[in-house]
């Protein structure tokens, strides 16, 4: 396949809705080919239909990123179909059932960790093995972008396992940055309160939550999925080639560290 100048092949997990769908739309609009991944085929098909007008190649890979066999196959199939894999965005994530951490079941804990941490590790693992072989790509062989959360920096009550999983994702990002340098970069973003399915697309629910835990954004508004896509576009682009191991807040000023 012949790529347009500056066009990249980008895998986005959890791209059937929310932040993942918004990222796919922004990046396809910029001329990138998109590999959509999620567990619900109908949602991925909806996303693909939204990308049709951008005249880019779009692949759908239905499956669970916590399944090693699936992830290995997904990465292999992508490279076989598109020849190169430039960027992976580990966006798939769940918050789980809200409640005190001591009341969360072991099964619920494992489910959250499997999707939020194990899934990102597996995708990064198999993608990096492929990227290392892409020596003809200059100056970098590939990029890994992880979607963590401000909950990974400032633990949030009643979503404790989610906070732990996102903190682990921050650590994973920096380990990857150290181990994969100098030809593969790894960076993470930490969104705050955004109108997404995790918050039932309800800004009033978000405001109620931030008031209850006294963690309000300085900019005094709820974020949108589109607020995140400009940062993702920058991290995908060559303008960010000298960045790795960075953990970037995009939260309206909730967490200042």
Average pLDDT over residues 102-107: 97
The pLDDT value given to residue 1: 46
What pTM was computed for the model? 0.93
Residue 4 DSSP class: P
User: Per residue in 2-33, pLDDT tens?
Assistant: 455 579 999 999 999 999 999 999 999 999 99
Topology (CATH) of 9-250: Rossmann fold (3.40.50)
Across 171-181, b (16+ Cβ under 10 Å) vs e yields ebbbebbeebe
The pLDDT value given to residue 65: 98
In terms of pLDDT, which residue wins out, 117 or 219? 117
User: Per residue in 192-238, pLDDT tens?
Assistant: 876 666 555 567 776 676 666 667 888 888 888 889 999 999 999 99
In terms of pLDDT, which residue wins out, 178 or 197? 178
Phi, psi of 91 (to 5 degrees): -110, -20
15 forms beta bridges with none
> Where does the pLDDT of residue 186 fall: very low under 50, low under 70, confident under 90, or very high at 90 and above?
very high
Distance CA 170, CA 166 (A): 6
Residue 245 DSSP class: S
For residue 30, what are the contacts with CB-CB under 8 A and spacing of at least 6? Answer: 233
The pLDDT value given to residue 202: 63
User: Per residue in 119-176, pLDDT tens?
Assistant: 999 999 999 999 999 999 999 999 999 999 999 999 888 999 999 999 999 999 999 9
The pLDDT value given to residue 215: 75
Active site residues: 162, 166
The residue ranges of every structural domain in the chain are 9-250
Average pLDDT over residues 246-254: 93
Pair of tokens at residue 160: 């404790």
């Amino acid at each position: 396949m012949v790529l347009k100048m500056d066009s990249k092949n980008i895998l986005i997990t959890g791209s059937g809705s929310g932040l993942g769908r918004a990222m796919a739309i922004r990046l396809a609009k910029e001329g990138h080919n998109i590999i959509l991944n999620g567990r619900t085929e109908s949602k991925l098909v909806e996303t693909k239909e939204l990308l049709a007008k951008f005249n880019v190649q779009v692949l759908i890979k239905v499956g669970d990123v916590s399944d090693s066999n699936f992830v290995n196959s997904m990465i292999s199939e992508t490279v076989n179909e598109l020849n190169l894999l430039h960027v992976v965005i580990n966006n798939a994530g769940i918050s789980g059932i809200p409640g005190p951490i001591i009341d969360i079941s072991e099964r619920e804990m494992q489910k959250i960790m499997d999707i939020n941490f194990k899934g990102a590790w597996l995708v990064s693992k198999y993608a990096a093995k492929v990227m290392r072989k892409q020596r003809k790509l200059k100056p970098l062989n590939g990029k890994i972008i992880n979607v963590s959360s401000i909950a990974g920096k400032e633990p949030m009550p009643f979503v404790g396992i989610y906070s732990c999983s996102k903190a682990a994702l921050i650590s994973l990002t920096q380990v990857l940055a150290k181990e994969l340098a100098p030809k593969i970069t790894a960076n993470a973003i930490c969104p705050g309160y955004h109108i997404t399915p995790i918050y039932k697309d309800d800004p009033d629910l978000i405001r109620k939550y931030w008031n209850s835990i006294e963690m309000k954004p300085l900019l005094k508004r709820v974020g949108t999925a589109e607020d995140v896509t400009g940062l993702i576009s920058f991290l995908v682009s060559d303008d960010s080639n000298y960045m790795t191991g960075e953990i970037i807040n995009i939260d309206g000023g909730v967490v200042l560290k």
